[in-house]
A = this chain, B = another copy of it.
Amino acid sequence: MGSSIGVGLIGLGTVGSGVVRLLRDAPAAMQRRQHLDLQLRRIAVADPAKKRAVDVAADLLTANAMDVVDDPDVQLVVELSGAAGAREWIAAGLERGKDVVTANKAVLAQHGEELFGLALANGVDLMFEASVAGGIPIIRSLRSGLVANEVESLYGILNGTTNYILTRMTRREGGYREILADAQEKGFAEPDPSMDVSGMDAAQKLAILCRIAFHTTGTGEDVYCEGIEQVDTLDIEYARELGFTIKLLAIAKRGPGGVQARVHPAMLPSESLLANIHDEFNAIEVVGSSVGTQVFSGRGAGQMPTASAVVADMVELAERKISGAGSAGGDMILDDGAASLADMSELEIRYYLRLLVEDRPGVLESITHIVAQGDISIASVIQKERDLQGGTVPLIIVTHEARERSMRQAVAAMNELDGVHEEVTVIRMEKL
């Protein structure tokens, strides 16, 4: 008891600097933890000569991440580099019997099975609260707080950039491209925003949550994924009229064919909690067999929220080690019973379709004929007199529950019609 824990940091960028700051200005809750003594012993950075946002002793710095991993005074490796070598460094730390904390969702989503297996085999722990939803303690809530539940479903707003863009579009502050450009200028969106706007960032996070909640082994690529690039302000306005709000949702649900995992723009009832998560905030709604519906919301990114999650993991690991505990064990490891992620074709859901159609007799009839052939039942149709754009008008179709496979066939057929201009926009409508 009372011995200190040597910390090695890989990466001293935004989040790494935040972690250093929190270790220095330890909040009261950390100071009050008896025997907790975290000592920063080694820091790997790309360029040790570069000026830093936080003061650290020059002799702590190294340009070689393996120096951190190999340092005998480092018992806890904190990987925050976002670099290509992250998987290797995490693995090396675990193999040397060191606990590891990482915020790297891409590595966990892709190599989770290998890395959690290494942790178990070496009697150490790999923690990753910061990898999903920033400062929201969703990982420990699922692993520990809700351990006495079968998770039935999980709906998340897991990407702050896209939620920020959709929120501003919903506030009528502009169209997708305009707001994205503005967000990039202000630093709210990456110079290359493709991971965010394509939904892939959310899909990787969802794969991590699915591993905990549903014991699946799928990676980000196994998650069905559509981004927000096709969402038009028109869709947002029609959604509003129908009482819905458009969000980029990450959804996982237990179904007959396995666990269904998907990321796509979705219409949510405007009075639902998730529809009211604005700007860059994240939220996760979990339905558990014992607890029912729970919602967690907060900042999903940013320096200090993310650093807060990293330090929470560090404190937990250090306390465990100091109190003499072994590894937390293999709840992240999947045995033969691991479920796979189901494909989408059996999904049954309501659909919103927006078509740009020629304003002439027969077009609507061709469309409704296709819909009827697919055994899809229409709930409502909206076609208003609008400023004609070269003789075309927007046509909105809202269906009753229909099967994804049928809908895809129907949409493909609509896209072939002479009277239909542009690709048909399809947005799924979630009940929650």
**Contact B315 A148, beta carbon cutoff 8 Å:** yes
Do residues B145 and A22 form an inter-chain contact, with CB atoms below 8 A? no
Chain A 291-325, CB-CB to B under 8 Å as 1, else 0, gives: 11111111100101101110110011001100111
Q: Is the CB of B27 within 8 A of A150?
A: yes
Contact assessment for A319 and B328 in the assembled complex, using a CB-CB cutoff below 8 Å: yes
Would A146 and B312 count as touching, CB distance under 8 A? yes
Q: From residue A362, how far is it (CB to closest CB) to chain B in Å?
A: 45
Copies assembled:
2
**Which listed segment binds B: A31-39, A226-234, A396-404?**
A31-39
For the complex, is A29 an interface residue (Cβ under 8 Å from B)? yes
How distant is A320 from chain B, measured CB to nearest CB, in Å?
Answer: 6
Does any Cβ of B come within 8 Å of A390's Cβ?
A: no
With a cutoff of 8 Å between Cβ atoms, the chain B residues found around residue A36 in the complex are: 329
Interface size on A, residues (CB 8 A): 68
By a CB distance below 8 angstroms, the chain B residues around A298 are 291-295
| A136 contacts across to B, CB distance below 8 A | 291, 294
CA of A291 to CA of B136, assembled, Å: 8
Q: Is A415 part of the binding interface, using a Cβ–Cβ cutoff of 8 Å?
A: no
In the complex, the answer to whether B140 meets A144 with C-beta atoms within 8 Å is yes
User: When the two chains form their complex, are residues A294 and B297 in contact, meaning their CB atoms are under 8 A apart?
Assistant: yes
- State the CA gap A271–B275 with chains docked (Å): 11
Q: Does A84 contact B (CB under 8 A)?
A: no
Assess the A27–B148 pair: CB atoms within 8 A. Answer: yes
B296 touches A292 (CB 8 A): no
Minimum C-beta distance from A331 to chain B (A):
5
* Chain B residues whose C-beta falls within 8 Å of the C-beta of A292 in the assembled complex: 135, 298-299, 302, 304-305
Asked if A382 is at the interface (CB within 8 A of a chain B CB), the reply is no
16 further A-B pairs in the complex, CB-CB below 8 A; given A34-B330, A35-B329, A294-B298? A1-B326, A27-B147, A28-B150, A34-B331, A129-B145, A140-B145, A146-B312, A148-B308, A288-B308, A291-B308, A292-B302, A292-B304, A294-B296, A295-B296, A296-B296, A323-B326
- What would be 15 A-B contacts, judged by CB atoms less than 8 Å apart? A29-B150, A29-B331, A32-B215, A32-B331, A33-B330, A34-B331, A36-B329, A140-B140, A145-B309, A147-B312, A148-B307, A289-B304, A295-B297, A296-B296, A320-B325
